Structure 1
Amino acid sequence: MSRILIVRTSSLGDLVHMLPAISDIAANVPDAKIDWIVEESFAEIPAWHPAVDTVIKVAHRRWRKAWWSASVRKERRLLGERLRDVKYDVVLDMQALLKSAWLVRQTQGVRHGLDWRSAREPLASLFYDVRHRVEFWQPAVIRQRTLASLTFGYTFSGAPDFGLQRFSSSRAVHKLPEDDKDYAVIMPSASRPDKLWPDQDWRAVFKRLLDSGCGLRLLAGNAEEDRRARELIAQIPDAEVLPRLSLTDVAKVLAGARLMVGLDSGLTHLSAALGRPTIGIYRASTPVRTPLVGASYTASLGDRGESPSREVVLAAVEQALAA
């Protein structure tokens, strides 16, 4: 048995992009036993993949608020003891940040990661025993699959397998509660104002989806996003803002949707990975490195500083509806 530790703690979209690399490892490394260190708020994601044996939680986001408190020091000590207690054949840092290197240095095993030129934070490369060159401006899914293949010595091929088959039956059961109509999932909010798309353009998309027979389910991650979503659908029938759900429950809703339209967010990337027709609207980031990837129709529209027009998005909606 090959004991493997994957280090990738966040964020949601990046973790989704990791999943095909895990499928590749499982297919190419005989008897692989894969553990994965992940931020506690995203621990559901690696647990979805059937090849992941153990999910080890870290809490950087919570710890940094009180790094030197007695409780946080205890949690960090216990995590370090757990990491040092297991001898891994390979420890693979697929994040290449100093915060992930801090975890790697506490492990036992041959430590692999990106080299100085490839790492987002080059100093992280100093903590690895074996360093790999992976060109930075590649789509994230390809970049992660490449790093895994270089580490374990195989050549990957074929379409990415996200390992999300557990959600394949969700399409038949997650309908609007009042009837059996199709629904579209909408993600109109973001943490940064420069990612937002104009309200009047969203309403044009809503009208086309409603005309096609789709109800609308809007996602919101906090109180401000909830307020914005409710304003967008004010006086629009057959539309609702979903309450806060676990990531697993959100994945079930996405898997049951006819299509999704969302800003560039982790949930939009999750929709594509689940094989649903998905349209992503990019305004403050580029789709060159993080395009939507999935088995169904996807459209990654816009670019950093270049908002996609209403007409372009509506044209993509027509293709998604046909898909």
Structure 2
Amino acid sequence: MMTRILIVRTSSLGDLVHMLPAISDIARHVAGAQIDWIAEESFAEIPAWHPAVHEVIPVAHRRWRKHWWDPQTRQERAALRLLLAGRRYDVILDMQALLKSVWLVRQAHGRRHGLDWKSAREPLASLFYDVRHRVEFWQPAIIRQRTLAAAAFGYALQGPPDFGLQAITDGVEIQPVALIMPSASRDDKLWPTEHWQRVFDHLQGQGLGLRLLAGNEAEQARAQALIQGRNQAEVLPKLGLRQVADHLAQARLMVGLDSGLTHLSAGLGRPTIGIYKASTPVRTPLQGSAYTASLGERGQEPDAGRVIAAIDEALSTACDPLGQASGCP
């Protein structure tokens, strides 16, 4: 018997990555689960990578809110409303618990589940659910999402997180390169140039080339300045999400600021070191099947020595899970 499920979690990139293990859990424990997922159009690729997701329904909150009453926006919102009106779900699970996600939940037909008043980031959202679940707030996001899904579907949470990204990583040959994410959405997350230079020296001393990720012209300029004068170092052009995921899957390890792409690297099972400066790893630590280190804290950035020590531990802990890492000791 089929169980039709609608997941509501629209953004952002890192949050969608954190959702993937909960989808694996649902698929494992709910017989006949057919999972649809509403996600922001910019990140709709990520849910589509999971083999248990039947359909991704894109929304465009980030674009719509700038032009809410424009004819095109109104037409797109009407099309979404019509699509949802024509479907009936057994379970609608709001994994975001925000008023903007409730707006979507209210348009869908089925039994609505979400967080209770004390658990939701925006408590008013809890008033719109048929079933409310208590999930402790101050715990890692992946555990929080998996716990909510387990409560909604009545199974016991168990085992390590499975991100369901094997289609991207299976059979990939690991290359002797380190992927670097030196940019972030906010300047207060940036790490000093002298720290990056010490880390780059160490990585290249370990025989690793450097590939830096950059998403816009400002990030490109910053990344080029960081590697100026270095051989075996390049700034990758702006890439689509799947292209970035392919580069991450091939890397020996990844070092990045607290960003969605750093969390994607961990989810892909690559050794990953995350640098936290303006955010806390308490709620969003890196988690994955390979070595991860979430270094620093809000207002307390890690120094280069601490990051280098984590790199050494990552390189010595294990080879690629498939034993394919180039230059693996």
SS of structure 1 residue aligned to 2:215: coil
How far, CA to CA, are the matches of 2:315 and 2:155 in structure 1? 38
Match of 2:327 in 1: none
Q: C-alpha displacement at 1:170, in angstroms? A: 5.8
Q: Equivalences for 1:288-307 in 2 at 5 Å?
A: 288-307=282-301
How far, CA to CA, are the matches of 2:229 and 2:170 in structure 1? 33
Q: C-alpha displacement at 1:24, in angstroms? A: 0.2
Match of 1:24 in 2: 25
Q: Equivalences for 1:201-240 in 2 at 5 Å?
A: 201-240=195-234
Q: Do structure 1's residue 311 and structure 2's residue 295 form an aligned pair?
A: no
How far, CA to CA, are the matches of 2:202 and 2:170 in structure 1? 27
Cα deviation code 1:119-148 (max 9, x no counterpart)? 111111111110101011010000000000
How far, CA to CA, are the matches of 1:165 and 1:264 in structure 2? 23
One-letter amino acid matched to 1:278: T
SS of structure 1 residue aligned to 2:172: helix
Match of 1:184 in 2: 178
One-letter amino acid matched to 1:63: W
Match of 1:164 in 2: 165
In the comparison of the two structures, how many residue pairs are matched?
316
Cα deviation code 1:164-210 (max 9, x no counterpart)? 000123631x75xxxxxx10000001121111111011011101111
Q: CA RMSD in A?
A: 0.9
One-letter amino acid matched to 2:89: Y
Q: Equivalences for 1:66-215 in 2 at 5 Å?
A: 66-169=67-170, 171-172=172-173, 175=175, 182-215=176-209
Cα deviation code 1:29-56 (max 9, x no counterpart)? 0000000000000010000000000000
Match of 1:271 in 2: 265
One-letter amino acid matched to 2:62: R
Q: C-alpha displacement at 1:243, in angstroms? A: 0.8
How far, CA to CA, are the matches of 1:196 and 1:15 in structure 2? 23
Match of 1:242 in 2: 236
Runs ≥4 residues deviating over 6 A = none
Note if contact 1:8-1:94 (Cα within 8 Å) is conserved in structure 2: yes
How far, CA to CA, are the matches of 2:19 and 2:154 in structure 1? 18
Match of 1:178 in 2: none
Note if contact 2:39-2:59 (Cα within 8 Å) is conserved in structure 1: yes
How far, CA to CA, are the matches of 1:168 and 1:220 in structure 2? 22
SS of structure 1 residue aligned to 2:89: strand
SS of structure 2 residue aligned to 1:189: coil
How far, CA to CA, are the matches of 1:70 and 1:126 in structure 2? 31
How far, CA to CA, are the matches of 1:43 and 1:244 in structure 2? 18
Match of 2:16 in 1: 15
Q: Percentage identity across aligned positions?
A: 69
Cα deviation code 1:45-89 (max 9, x no counterpart)? 000000000000000011111100111001001101101110000
TM-score if structure 2 supplies the norm length? 0.95
Match of 2:245 in 1: 251
Cα deviation code 1:142-171 (max 9, x no counterpart)? 000000000000002011000000012363
Q: C-alpha displacement at 1:5, in angstroms? A: 0.1
SS of structure 2 residue aligned to 1:92: strand
Note if contact 1:13-1:270 (Cα within 8 Å) is conserved in structure 2: yes
1:239/1:170 Cα in 2 relative to 1: closer, same or farther (>3 Å)? farther
Match of 1:3 in 2: 4
Any stretches of 5+ residues in structure 2 without a counterpart? 319-329
How far, CA to CA, are the matches of 1:152 and 1:257 in structure 2? 37
Match of 2:326 in 1: none
Note if contact 2:215-2:239 (Cα within 8 Å) is conserved in structure 1: no
How far, CA to CA, are the matches of 1:281 and 1:171 in structure 2? 26
How far, CA to CA, are the matches of 1:171 and 1:224 in structure 2? 31
Note if contact 2:272-2:291 (Cα within 8 Å) is conserved in structure 1: yes
Q: C-alpha displacement at 1:309, in angstroms? A: 1.3
Pick aligned residue for 2:278 from 274, 284, 295: 284
Match of 2:66 in 1: 65
Any stretches of 5+ residues in structure 1 without a counterpart? 176-181
1:170/1:247 Cα in 2 relative to 1: closer, same or farther (>3 Å)? farther
One-letter amino acid matched to 1:237: N
Q: C-alpha displacement at 1:18, in angstroms? A: 0.2
1:170/1:280 Cα in 2 relative to 1: closer, same or farther (>3 Å)? farther
One-letter amino acid matched to 1:248: R
SS of structure 1 residue aligned to 2:74: helix
One-letter amino acid matched to 1:228: R
One-letter amino acid matched to 1:137: W
Note if contact 1:170-1:256 (Cα within 8 Å) is conserved in structure 2: no
